[in-house]
Amino acid sequence: SVLLYIQVNISVPLYRCCPGEHLCPPLQSVVQVNFFCDYEESKGNYLVDVDGNRMLDVYTQIASIPIGYNHPALTKVMTDPKNMGTFVNRPALGMMPPEQFSEKLVNGLMAVAPKGFSRVQTMACGSCSNENAYKAIFIWYRVRAGVLSFFFQVPGCPDLTLLSFMGGFHGRTLGCLATTHTKAIQKLDVPSFDWPIAPFPQLRYPLDQFERENAREEARCLEEAEDLIVKWNQKGRHVAGVVIEPIQAEGGDNHASFDFYRKLRGITKKHGCAFLVDEVQTGGGSTGKFWAHAHWGLDDPADIVSFSKKMLTGGYYQKDSFQPDKPFRIFNTWLGDHTKNLLLTEVIKVIKTENLLDQAKRSGKVMLEGLYDLQDKYPHLLSKARGIGTFCAIDVKDEDTRNLLLLKARNKGVVLGGCGTQSIRFRPALVFKEHHAHLFLDIFNDAIAEL
Amino acid sequence: SVLLYIQVNISVPLYRCCPGEHLCPPLQSVVQVNFFCDYEESKGNYLVDVDGNRMLDVYTQIASIPIGYNHPALTKVMTDPKNMGTFVNRPALGMMPPEQFSEKLVNGLMAVAPKGFSRVQTMACGSCSNENAYKAIFIWYRVRAGVLSFFFQVPGCPDLTLLSFMGGFHGRTLGCLATTHTKAIQKLDVPSFDWPIAPFPQLRYPLDQFERENAREEARCLEEAEDLIVKWNQKGRHVAGVVIEPIQAEGGDNHASFDFYRKLRGITKKHGCAFLVDEVQTGGGSTGKFWAHAHWGLDDPADIVSFSKKMLTGGYYQKDSFQPDKPFRIFNTWLGDHTKNLLLTEVIKVIKTENLLDQAKRSGKVMLEGLYDLQDKYPHLLSKARGIGTFCAIDVKDEDTRNLLLLKARNKGVVLGGCGTQSIRFRPALVFKEHHAHLFLDIFNDAIAEL
Ligand code: FES
């Protein structure tokens, strides 16, 4: 661990370092902690940069490395000659799937399917997962409406909408972007859909000290969401679905109570809206359950659950009724990447055999308690320590200080990422153990002490 | 080649064959030539199904296999231990690229950059390539407008539009889908943007017999496109860009003359619209040039060129001025998949050392001449043989007959795909040689004879 305390030197200039210069944008702020990495040398929780600096990674490629770098189980998949055909030839999965496709789905995605889901549609990233989930919702809404009541009389392009929440993030392609409301710069200049946006609860922390205020705030948001659904339905721009994250991640690790989600689910049922839970960042085990929405304790928590990042492949689970009525309505050339299904199957095996969900609970406990201690120690700098499992965050007094802290932590050998305006999010891999949490807290403490 | 004439037995039922049943939709029409494949056993131009049937593949996973199945150059990349870190750990390329990232871009994508392009942005599929190209266009238009004239006074969501063409296909995510106009079922029930759509020339074949009519038709379409730009600009819904394929592929292999494209490029310049050439299906060499738009012979053919499929990675080349003014405006977690960059670098080497562009020209000549012969022989069944390089197509008298012919060809050992309402498209890999073309023509002839 002494090794970690070296200064990290960024030796690769980020201006015009390659012909694709735009991929290495000039460092406009220290938030953009860009450096080049040596992925061969990285291992477990440690990311190694091109200068050989070994850093504890508590950001994991924006929360997308499930079981650490170069896990032997994954290396084994890659070197197994019988997988070569999959890696070298990418099939059009919707038309000519490989022999082992079904088996890999059964032992992979379906082995961790959320309660109540017997279908999964693979996609290639978080954006196409949500884009296609939105389409599945629109199709479902119209097909059902056609069957039930013929209340849509106009053929062609319907005036359906999706309700999303302030501070939510669901991707950056044009459909997803219409439901993403984090930073203004992400939406600036890009045409969008006029769809309803509900407020997301702004809770006060620590949660147990502000129970009454927070309950009131959540009730206000639920009422507003229901009002919007009613109003938009009345004006003929029906709300086909509601999309939400179990924890608003990019938006600043904004939590709402499990009760809030349970009531929101009730509202969607009451008004016949599909309920899409976006688990792109929360899914995969870091909250201590495989899916963050499992904490709500509902028997019928969602109609569609989308995923990507730590799941390696993108895609979504869906209720049977969301299967389009005709083929080719949800389709594209690749429909995912079978390479990722192969790797995911091994990841899931490792999570099970190594009990990594329990590990996330234990490491998360150490982290969160440590963060509470730190905010007690530095109340002028830190606040709102929060989290479930290792999916934790803390707020820093302002954006500039947050950015400085990220840089200081990195220089001391810990890779972190920001979210929201002034939060730091912690996104270790599932192999992050208690001693890693202690090490992280020590270094983080040292970094804060320097502010 | 005798081996090829066996009957193909589809032994895997496509109903409820796996928990992800939706991935194996019921065969509603014979167009959906679904079967399970043995990708380990497939080789070069031959795709092997799970029953061991070896078929000449003239469809190549919807035009996405560049140099045939299991090319030794690609197998070598996959088994090279020094690439293991890349395959096992997927980086967030925009933040923490791997050491060899720049080098792979220089020897990969930039080694085949279209004339006049010095920048490339990697993405992961055709849809996100176009979605982000659209965003880059909107940002460019507004930033330039702001600098030049301040004629946009309203902040926030602008009312910009993109002009696309009837019969064009640019993807199925919501932004792309607004510019896709092939089959009604693809757009049904999905909210869209109200953007201008110009007619695409409906040429008569053979082209040399209808020069005057075709020139008139192209002039009509160009005039209509220009009118739309003027009209939409006047009503304040400015046309920021024009998006078009060099050959409308999904829409039915619809060609327009090189002159049409040259004039369209002129119109975009005259009205200050960005010109986005979508080479997702046409790019990668099958027209005999690496990029189909290179046939136009222009010095400044486009502002953005998007690609995917045979390029293995998605992405787009862009003029310097299309680089967003601020970081994180074009961004997502993975920004492509470096695994694919590694494979592409080898693909490009093979294309160069084996002179595969010339090969495509030679094989394409055999194919097209053979198709001309077949349509002379079966004038009641076939028409409109057309193509550049091996990027060929032919029309069948009606949709049902086309679908039957696809099935018969497959049963005789040739995998083909349809496009448009009644066309068959030919999309062999670049390793498709003259003798493969002859073999294909023989089998295709036999299949037609059975109709
Ligand atoms: S949109 Fe998901 S990979 Fe392209």
Q: What is the pTM of this model?
A: 0.93
Catalytic entry in A165, A169, A275, A444: A169
Q: What value does the mean pLDDT take over residues A313-327?
A: 91
Query: What pLDDT does B328 receive?
Result: 84
Cβ-based contacts of A89 with chain B (< 8 Å): 39, 42, 61, 65, 69-70
Query: What pLDDT does A24 receive?
Result: 39
Give A232-283 pLDDT, tens digit per residue: 999 999 999 999 999 999 999 999 999 999 999 999 999 999 999 999 999 9
Q: Is A159 a catalytic residue?
A: no
Check A160 against B128: CB less than 8 A apart: no
pLDDT confidence tier of residue A10, bands split at 50, 70 and 90: very low
Of A28, A98, A105, the CB nearest to B36: A98
| Partners of A47 in beta bridges | A55
**At which residue do the structure tokens 């083909």 appear?**
B416
Query: What pLDDT does A38 receive?
Result: 95
Which residue in B47, B75, B76 sits closest to B60, CA to CA? B47
CA gap B246, B248 in Å, rounded: 7
Q: What proportion of chain A, given as a percentage, has pLDDT over 70?
A: 90
Cβ-based contacts of B156 with chain A (< 8 Å): 188
pLDDT at A159 over 50: yes
Which residue in A123, A64, A67, A172 sits closest to A304, CA to CA? A123
CA gap B403, B418 in Å, rounded: 8
The greatest distance separating any two alpha carbons of chain B, rounded to the nearest whole angstrom, comes to: 70
Q: Which atom of ligand 1 is nearest to the CA of A123?
A: 2
Cβ contacts of A260 within 8 Å, gap of 6 or more: A201, A218, A221, A222
Of B38, B95, B106, the CB nearest to A18: B106
Query: What pLDDT does A88 receive?
Result: 95
Q: pLDDT under 70 in chain B at which residues? A: 1-33, 146-157
Check A185 against B28: CB less than 8 A apart: no
pLDDT at A138 over 80: yes
Chain B closest-CA separation from residue A395 CA (Å): 22
Give A391-440 pLDDT, tens digit per residue: 999 999 999 999 999 999 999 999 999 999 999 999 999 999 999 999 99
Chain B closest-CA separation from residue A296 CA (Å): 25
Asked whether the CA dihedral A365, A369, A374, A380 is positive or negative, the reply is positive
- The answer, yes or no, to whether any atom of ligand 1 lies below 6 A from the CB of A280, is no
Chain A closest-CA separation from residue B208 CA (Å): 34
Give A321-344 pLDDT, tens digit per residue: 998 888 888 999 999 999 999 999
Chain A residue with minimum CA distance to B118? A19
Distance A37 CA to ligand 1 centre (A): 24
Write down the mean pLDDT value for chain A.
Answer: 90
Cβ-based contacts of A19 with chain B (< 8 Å): 102, 105-106, 110, 118-120
pLDDT confidence tier of residue A146, bands split at 50, 70 and 90: low
* Ligand 1 pocket, mutate which of A93, A122, A127 (most atoms under 8 A from CB): A127
Chain A residue with minimum CA distance to B75? A88
Cis peptide before B206 (omega within 30 of 0): yes
Cβ contacts of A35 within 8 Å, gap of 6 or more: A8, A10, A12, A49, A50, B96
DSSP-based three-state secondary structure for A246: coil
pLDDT at A296 over 70: yes
Q: What are phi and psi for residue A418, nearest 5 degrees?
A: -90, 170
Cβ-based contacts of A156 with chain B (< 8 Å): 188
pLDDT at A27 over 60: no
- The answer, yes or no, to whether any atom of ligand 1 lies below 6 A from the CB of A128, is yes
- The answer, yes or no, to whether any atom of ligand 1 lies below 6 A from the CB of A130, is no
pLDDT at A25 over 80: no
Check A78 against B96: CB less than 8 A apart: no
Give A200-236 pLDDT, tens digit per residue: 999 999 888 999 999 999 999 999 999 999 999 999 9
- Looking at residue B288, its amino acid is G
CA gap B382, B389 in Å, rounded: 20
Distance A369 CA to ligand 1 centre (A): 38
